[in-house]
Amino acid sequence: MSLTVGTQGGGAPDAAAPGSVPLPGDQPPLVRIRNLHFSRGEREIFSGLDIDIPRGGITAIMGPSGTGKTTLLKLIGGQLRPDRGTVEVDGLNVHALSRQELYRLRMRMGMLFQSGALLTDLSVFENVAFPLREHTALPEPLLRKLVLLKLEAVGLRGARDLMPSELSGGMARRVALARAIALDPMMIMYDEPFTGQDPISLGVLVKLIRQLNDAARLTSILVSHDVEETNAIADLVYVISNGKVVESGAPAKLAASGSEWTRQFMQGLPDGPVPFHYPAQPLEQDLFGEKS
């Protein structure tokens, strides 16, 4: 694995020759999801989802809260097993891999958890150093430089000695981002990176995600509800709801979409085909009717 400071990505083995900008369509997608079915108990979360994530771009997955965006990332990362259908990452069927092969694949994926998921008994510095210590045998001075550079990228070099409990939610998420890029992965999955960021760090973060993607030639999957920020940086947007892809395309195309559903979601209108409520019986019946 390449561990050059900063920009050079791990890169997919079969990626295009260096220098050429990879365009969607001229090579197989990095992630290919076909006919994905997944349920939690009785509740069906995905019923026949098809998604292609092209290499080298930022693909956004949008959808109302609770549609299973986090679940989708966990399926891609091999933490959950689908009931039916396949998830392929870089040509490998994630759920047919042996444990060892899966771990090798995960070394090339970074994931930014919605909650940050920092190790609470390690300092900020040690959290970012963690994947490097586990997977490489870098000498301490080099490791230190590398960690400080990653922290510098998210603007938290000065916070290196703090413990995770001393960070705000937004700071924790930025540390987690520094940790996710520590091994220079080929792909990063961002679960709601924008929530809890003030306008300044939000702007920096949007730029950072774009920069990481272009400079390191990563593939980024971005899960978010923030329509405006997401449209600003995404190359491709998938909108999912009720277990299926509702619409996909470039942000500009979706903004001009004829679909009432997409328009409602993109413009944040309360009324329309997207229900705001979790499925339930009518309110009057719940309040005044007999217990069902």
Residues of the shown chain interacting with Mg ion in the complex, contacts defined by CB under 5 A: 70
DSSP 70: H
Q: Counting contacts by CB under 8 A, is residue 113 touching another protein?
A: yes
Q: Which of 33, 118, 143, 212 binds another protein (CB under 8 A)?
A: 118
Q: Which of residues 152-181 bind another protein (CB under 8 A)?
A: 176, 179
DSSP three-state, residue 47:
strand
Q: Which of residues 77-106 bind another protein (CB under 8 A)?
A: 77, 79, 103-104, 106
Judged by CB, which is closer to ligand ATP: 67, or 213?
67
Residue 229: Cβ-neighbour burial (10 angstroms; 0-12, 13-18, 19+): buried
DSSP three-state, residue 276:
coil
SS (H, E, C) 131-168: HHHHHCCCCHHHHHHHHHHHHHHCCCHHHCCCCHHHCC
Q: Which of 2, 65, 120, 281 binds another protein (CB under 8 A)?
A: 120
Q: Which of residues 126-155 bind another protein (CB under 8 A)?
A: 130-131, 134-135
Are 199 and 78 spatial neighbours (Cβ–Cβ below 8 Å)?
no
CB of 181 to ligand ATP, least distance (A): 22
Judged by CB, which is closer to another protein: 185, or 251?
185
CB of 156 to ligand ATP, least distance (A): 24
CB of 265 to another protein, least distance (A): 27
d(CA 173, CA 124): 11
By the criterion CB under 6 A, which residues form the site for ligand ATP?
40, 45, 65-71, 114
Q: Which does 67 bind (CB under 5 to 8 A by kind): ligand ATP, another protein, Mg ion, none?
A: ligand ATP
Judged by CB, which is closer to another protein: 120, or 281?
120
Are 236 and 60 spatial neighbours (Cβ–Cβ below 8 Å)?
yes
**Angle CA 103–127–114, to nearest 5:** 75
Judged by CB, which is closer to ligand ATP: 15, or 189?
189
d(CA 193, CA 168): 14
CB of 288 to another protein, least distance (A): 31
Q: Which does 11 bind (CB under 5 to 8 A by kind): ligand ATP, another protein, Mg ion, none?
A: none
Residues facing residue 187 across a β-bridge: 109, 219
SS (H, E, C) 6-30: CCCCCCCCCCCCCCCCCCCCCCCCC
Residues found near another protein in the complex (CB under 8 A): 74, 77, 79, 103-104, 106-107, 109-111, 113, 115, 117-120, 130-131, 134-135, 176, 179, 183
